[in-house]
Amino acid sequence: MAENYTTRLDDALSWARKYSLFSYPFVTACCGMEYMSTAASKYDIARFGAEFPRFSPRQADLLFVVGTITEKQAPVLSRIWAQMAEPKYVVAFGVCASTGGFYQNYNTVPGCDQIIPVDVYIPGCPPRPEQVLDGLILLQKKIQEGSTYVQRRDRGELEQLKAGGSVDDGRKRLPVVA
């Protein structure tokens, strides 16, 4: 009986969290202009509950990594992620944040997932505002389903995967090829 109430409470909390995202933009490059356009009246990111950007990581729960991350910026990004409120979510905005982009040198981090866990990747150079809104909708869906990094960590699924076990969360996975 108590498990039924806990499940319903978790569903209600997930529903509330997906519509009350407080974003922190970590903008380092040209994708910042596209990020700003999503908040303008034409695309209006406020429709999805991510209206006001917070410029303090302690007041934010959604980190938008926008642009290229260099080796000097990596410790700063890690510290910002550590200071964010729980539960926290990360969106890699653009090809430079996702894979390092066309910069193939010693100074560029090949994707921010080398530093912090990423929940949603938005492709493009720069990504269109429609893609950003699609990425935000995908993040909201993952929050509702409970499949973000922090939610899986809190349930202990990540330790189970590291130990070699399998997690049945209904998603199809590709076989690992050695």
Q: How far is CA 161 from CA 155, 157, 164, 165, in A?
A: 12, 6, 5, 5
117, 149 Cβ separation under 8 angstroms: yes
d(CA 171, CA 70): 33
User: Residues 129-164: pLDDT tens digits?
Assistant: 889 899 999 999 988 888 788 878 887 777 766 665
pTM: 0.80
Q: Domain for residue 114, yes or no?
A: yes
Structural domains counted in the chain: 1
Q: Work out the burial of residue 124: count CB atoms within 10 Å of its CB; fewer than 13 is exposed, 13-18 middle, 19 or more buried.
A: middle
Residue 87 located in a structural domain: yes
Q: Is 174 within 8 Å of 126 (Cβ atoms)?
A: no
Dist CA 168 CA 173 (whole Å): 10
Would you say residue 119 has pLDDT above 80?
Answer: yes
Residue 171 domain-assigned (yes or no)? no
For residue 4, pLDDT over 60 is answered with: no
What are the pLDDT digits (tens) for 34-63? 888 887 878 888 787 777 788 888 888 899
For residue 110, the enclosing domain spans 2-162
List the CATH number of the domain containing 154. Answer: 3.40.50.12280
